[in-house]
């Protein structure tokens, strides 16, 4: 039996992040909003494997229905990279968004308690709400730079907790558990009745330690999620995956039978090339993002206290606080209207005095974006001084 997600979209809360980006994304001239690395073209992918993506090879591709769990070659490529633990299999999906939907629909029943590391990407809390769960935020505290504190998790876990939902590295702050924190977190969940949902959208994008190991290597009751939308620079391909316990596969497939059935063989062909050449796509973007991260932190440090920026440990977004503002939404609107610069106001994550700034873009674009923010802040401050003086 599935939960009330099947009852229809009226159960789903709004997604303010998507509402903000929906039109502005296409209006922006300088995009420093994104949580993913900057994008690749089809030509760049084709160059990685002309034998699979050449014109003749593509002409011969047959548009058959795909298998319910995904194309074998793509699933094998994902498995070779993420290394699922015993008893777990890879299922490929339409972005990790579909995988998350399937997981919440399969696992949550009305009245279940769901612990969510908060602030959270909207799917991670909204799908729990839509399934009738009672949300228990695990607060990632802004005053600690959003660093996860496992005592705070202990305080919200109970014997009614059905799911623990985490996303490390974290969108939007870039906070992350380190390898020791990962072990402690998995131990905590293992000693509870809960299932862990591990959103690893940014697994490959870590700056201070190697990527965290796939959690199913150390925990049975876990589903993990990955995507080509963030580290691979291919959000428009709409390919993600989940690593699921074998025992849950038929339930996920049953829900998929009513939703998307399978992926396109063309999309899975392209995705297989991407995953088989993951390092060629990820490494250059990660190197650039690390330089850019340093630049964002220098820029914030030079603001004389106007911008307070926690160090992002992973991902490609910073989530600074604008100390003279209680809500930066107007500032974000002015950035787009006057400079064509797109950022994300923190209110979409429940943190109105902050702004999400994506730093995986070519350096000149980042500089243009940061300069526009500085200019607006300066104008704003001078205007206020005039007003009060």
Ligand X SMILES: Cc1ncc(COP(=O)(O)O)c(C=O)c1O
Q: Say whether residue 34 binds ligand X (CB under 6 A).
A: no
- Of 82-90, 94-102, 297-305, 347-355, the segment contacting ligand X by CB under 6 A is 94-102
- Of 93-101, 102-110, 151-159, 302-310, the segment contacting ligand X by CB under 6 A is 93-101
- Of 60-68, 90-98, 205-213, 277-285, the segment contacting ligand X by CB under 6 A is 90-98
Q: Say whether residue 126 binds ligand X (CB under 6 A).
A: no
Residue 48 burial class via C-beta count within 10 angstroms: exposed 0-12, middle 13-18, buried 19 and up: middle
Shortest Cβ distance from residue 318 to ligand X (Å)?
15
**Are 316 and 229 spatial neighbours (Cβ–Cβ below 8 Å)?**
no
Q: Say whether residue 97 binds ligand X (CB under 6 A).
A: yes
Within 8 A by CB and 6+ apart from 149, the residues are 141
Q: Say whether residue 119 binds ligand X (CB under 6 A).
A: no
Of 12 and 190, nearer to ligand X (C-beta) is 12
Of 225 and 322, nearer to ligand X (C-beta) is 225
Q: Say whether residue 201 binds ligand X (CB under 6 A).
A: yes
Q: Which residue carries 């490929």 as its tokens?
A: 92
Among 2, 30, 33, 35, binds ligand X (CB under 6 A): 35
Among 227, 262, 264, 292, binds ligand X (CB under 6 A): 227
Q: Say whether residue 262 binds ligand X (CB under 6 A).
A: no
Q: Are strands 222-227 and 88-93 parallel, antiparallel or unpaired?
A: unpaired
Q: Compute the C-alpha angle 52/57/62, nearest 5°.
A: 110
Q: Say whether residue 360 binds ligand X (CB under 6 A).
A: no
Q: Which residue carries 């039996």 as its tokens?
A: 1
CA 113/CA 163 separation, integer angstroms: 7
Q: Say whether residue 33 binds ligand X (CB under 6 A).
A: no
Q: Say whether residue 121 binds ligand X (CB under 6 A).
A: yes
Shortest Cβ distance from residue 78 to ligand X (Å)?
13
Helices 278-301 and 265-276: crossing angle in degrees, nearest 10, is 70
Among 2, 30, 96, 216, binds ligand X (CB under 6 A): 96
Shortest Cβ distance from residue 98 to ligand X (Å)?
7
Site for ligand X in 159-178 (CB under 6 A): 167, 171
Q: Say whether residue 118 binds ligand X (CB under 6 A).
A: no
Q: Say whether residue 31 binds ligand X (CB under 6 A).
A: no
Report the largest interatomic distance among the alpha carbons of the chain, rounded to a whole angstrom: 73
Count CB neighbours of 37 within 10 A.
28
Of 70 and 240, nearer to ligand X (C-beta) is 240
**Are 106 and 252 spatial neighbours (Cβ–Cβ below 8 Å)?**
yes
Of 95 and 310, nearer to ligand X (C-beta) is 95
Q: Which positions from 290 to 329 touch ligand X by CB under 6 A, shown as an x/- string? A: ----------------------------------------
Among 66, 85, 148, 240, binds ligand X (CB under 6 A): 240
Shortest Cβ distance from residue 382 to ligand X (Å)?
36
Of 227 and 360, nearer to ligand X (C-beta) is 227
Of 84 and 240, nearer to ligand X (C-beta) is 240
Count CB neighbours of 382 within 10 A.
10
Q: Say whether residue 95 binds ligand X (CB under 6 A).
A: yes
Q: Which residue is nearest to ligand X (CB)?
A: 95
Catalog residues that contact ligand X under the rule CB under 6 A: 35, 95-97, 121, 123, 167, 171, 199, 201, 227, 229, 235, 240
């Amino acid at each position: 039996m599935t939960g009330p997600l099947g009852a229809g979209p009226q159960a789903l809360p709004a997604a303010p992040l998507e509402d903000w980006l929906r039109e502005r994304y296409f209006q922006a001239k300088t995009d420093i909003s994104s949580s993913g690395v900057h994008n690749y073209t089809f030509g760049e992918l084709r160059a990685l494997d002309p034998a699979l993506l050449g014109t003749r090879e593509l002409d011969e591709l047959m548009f058959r229905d795909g298998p319910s769990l995904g194309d074998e070659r793509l699933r094998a490529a994902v498995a070779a990279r993420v290394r699922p633990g015993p008893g777990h299999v890879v299922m490929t999906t339409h972005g990790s968004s579909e995988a998350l939907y399937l997981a919440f629909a399969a696992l949550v029943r009305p009245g279940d308690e769901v612990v969510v590391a908060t602030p959270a990407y909207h799917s991670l809390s909204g799908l729990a709400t839509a399934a009738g769960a009672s949300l228990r935020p695990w607060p990632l505290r802004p005053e600690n730079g959003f660093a996860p504190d496992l005592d705070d998790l202990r305080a919200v876990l109970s014997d009614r907790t059905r799911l623990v939902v985490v996303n490390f590295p974290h969108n939007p702050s870039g906070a992350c558990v380190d390898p020791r924190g990962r072990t402690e977190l998995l131990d905590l969940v293992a000693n509870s009745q809960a299932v862990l949902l591990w959103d690893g959208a940014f697994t490959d994008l870590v700056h201070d330690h190697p990527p965290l190991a796939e959690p199913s290597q150390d925990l049975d009751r876990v589903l993990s999620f990955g995507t080509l939308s963030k580290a691979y620079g291919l959000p428009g391909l709409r390919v993600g995956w989940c690593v699921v316990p074998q025992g849950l596969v038929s339930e996920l497939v049953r829900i998929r039978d009513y939703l998307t059935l399978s992926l396109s063989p063309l999309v899975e062909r392209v995705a297989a090339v991407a995953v088989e050449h993951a390092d060629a796509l990820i490494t250059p973007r990660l190197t650039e993002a690390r330089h850019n991260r340093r630049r964002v932190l220098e820029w914030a440090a030079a603001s004389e206290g106007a911008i307070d920026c926690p160090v992002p440990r992973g991902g490609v977004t910073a989530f600074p606080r604008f100390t003279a503002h209680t809500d930066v939404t107007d500032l974000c609107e002015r950035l787009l209207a006057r400079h064509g610069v797109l950022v994300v106001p923190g209110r979409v994550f429940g943190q109105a005095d902050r702004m999400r700034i994506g730093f995986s873009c070519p350096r000149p674009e980042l500089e243009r974006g940061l300069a526009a923010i500085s200019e607006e802040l300066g104008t704003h401050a001078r205007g206020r001084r005039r007003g009060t003086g």
